[in-house]
Amino acid sequence: MQRITKSIALATVLSITATTAALGQAAAPEGMQAITAKSLTWVDADIPGFAPGMKLAAINGDPAAAGPYTLRLSFPDGYRFPAHWHPMTENLTVLSGTLLLTMGERPDESKLTAYNAGDFLHIPATMPHSGGALGFTVIQLHGQGPFTINLVSPAK
């Protein structure tokens, strides 16, 4: 398996969204954090190797740093993302729409599995995956940072 060894840095995008997420906090008892969905700041996820159209919002933590984080990603209908992997375990919940996902280094439309609102996936570290969205789709990711994306290199 050949993989691109450099990870895609998301620090700038994630720092912007983490800062703005703090501005959208709702009133909550001391020690608790509450953020309303309508106050989230969505930004274009300008990730090399990924098609435009994906957006992200940082909910909690700093995904670019060590420690826990929570992110939301949104995809337009028909969006596809390339095979990639993460160095840390990824926990994913589909909030709306349908997430299409296949495991492995090569995207294979015939092997896509559909996950619907409420479905949860625990994707182990370094497991390559690719997929897309059917309908406008929103997912929530949480795990331990730093959150990085490593593209799978095409076989030579």
Q: DSSP string spanning 38-84?
A: GG---EE---TTS-TT-EEEEEEE-TTSSEEEEEEEEE-TT-EEEEE
Name the one residue in this structure whose structure tokens are 């940072």: 145
Give the residues across from 72 on adjacent strands.
57, 140
Residues 109-124 have pLDDT tens digits of 999 999 999 999 999 9
**pLDDT tens sequence across 17-66:** 554 445 455 666 778 888 999 999 999 999 999 999 999 999 999 999 99
Classify residue 24: in a domain, yes or no: yes
pTM of structure: 0.81
Number of domains in the chain: 1
| pLDDT, tens only, 121-130 | 999 999 999 9
Whether residue 3 lies inside any domain: the answer is: no
Q: In this structure, is residue 43 part of a structural domain?
A: yes
Domain harbouring 45, CATH code: 2.60.120.10
Domain hosting 141: range is 11-151
Q: Which residue has the tokens 């990730």?
A: 47
In a domain, 79, yes or no: yes
Does some domain include residue 4?
no
Q: With a cut of 90, say whether residue 92 has pLDDT above it.
A: yes
Q: What's the confidence (pLDDT) of residue 9?
A: 45
Query: Which residue has tokens 């909030």?
Result: 95
How much of the chain, in percent, has pLDDT values that exceed 90?
72
Establish if 74 belongs to a structural domain. Answer: yes
